[in-house]
């Protein structure tokens, strides 16, 4: 056999393994929450959940957001999926498909699940949460590198408009640029969105002091800042 062909065949399984690992890495979420406090879904609800997730995957990417329910009575399940406002359509579609797949794997048979990615968020529950501001604990991530006081003091300050994406130049002596994005799920009323964002930004002072980057993930919103565009 040709030596080059033999080498190519030998390397093929390794290449396929690397591709598999690469896809797995892409599918890994930032965080997930699976509510284990209540009883597991009954068989009827489980089948409704599968249908619900397929609806979210099919319909959310078109507008970057979709909320719906599936089933009736005790079998009814509610769900919501939303992409980051600046996510490309292809990235949105891929993210929600991964989210639906992973939440089914990570929260098997459980009545309430949430999963966060960099580009999207997905949640389902037996309880109708759509349009309601929840009070579940936040998930906090922060950059371990230090941040000067000038950077910190401006990063934790809520923007005057409260919602959006932007950057600002910090005052001397740091003169660094802070990049930030905040977003609510689109089912929330403006007042509830403002309350959620205030809570998210409030975590920065509690958990992200002297950090160069931080993000707070809540049920109804998220907030993030970094010293680089993202």
Domain ranges for the chain, please list them: 3-125, 139-226
Whether pTM > 0.85 for this model: the answer is: no
For all residues of the chain together, what is the average pLDDT?
76
From residue 8, how far is each of 1, 23, 93, 182 by CA, in Å?
11, 22, 34, 47
Domain 139-226 has CATH 3.30.430.20: yes
pLDDT in tens, 116-167: 999 999 999 999 999 988 776 677 755 544 433 333 333 334 442 233 545 5
3-state class of 164 per DSSP? Answer: strand
Equal fold, 3-125 vs 139-226: yes
CATH class of the 3-125 domain in this structure:
alpha beta
Q: Encoding tokens for residue 123?
A: 């949640």
């Amino acid at each position: 056999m040709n030596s080059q062909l033999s080498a190519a065949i030998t390397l093929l399984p390794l290449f396929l393994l690397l591709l598999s690992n690469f896809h797995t890495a892409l599918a890994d979420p930032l965080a997930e929450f699976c509510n284990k406090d209540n009883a597991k879904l009954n068989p009827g609800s489980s089948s409704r959940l599968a249908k619900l997730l397929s609806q979210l995957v099919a319909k959310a990417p078109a507008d970057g957001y979709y909320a719906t329910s599936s089933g009736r009575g005790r079998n009814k399940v509610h769900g919501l999926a939303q992409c980051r406002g600046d996510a490309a359509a292809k990235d949105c579609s891929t993210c929600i498909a991964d989210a639906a797949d992973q939440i089914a794997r990570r929260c098997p048979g459980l009545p309430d699940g949430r999963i966060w990615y960099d580009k999207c968020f997905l949640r389902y529950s037996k309880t109708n949460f759509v349009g309601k501001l929840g009070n579940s604990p936040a998930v906090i991530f922060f950059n371990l590198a230090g941040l000067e006081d000038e950077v910190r003091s401006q990063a934790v300050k809520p923007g005057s408009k409260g919602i959006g994406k932007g950057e600002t130049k910090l005052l001397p002596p740091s003169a660094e640029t802070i990049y930030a994005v905040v977003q609510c799920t689109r089912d929330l009323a403006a007042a509830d969105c403002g309350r959620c964002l205030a809570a998210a930004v409030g975590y920065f002072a509690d958990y992200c002091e002297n950090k160069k980057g931080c993000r707070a993930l809540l049920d109804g919103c998220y907030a993030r800042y970094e010293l680089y565009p993202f």
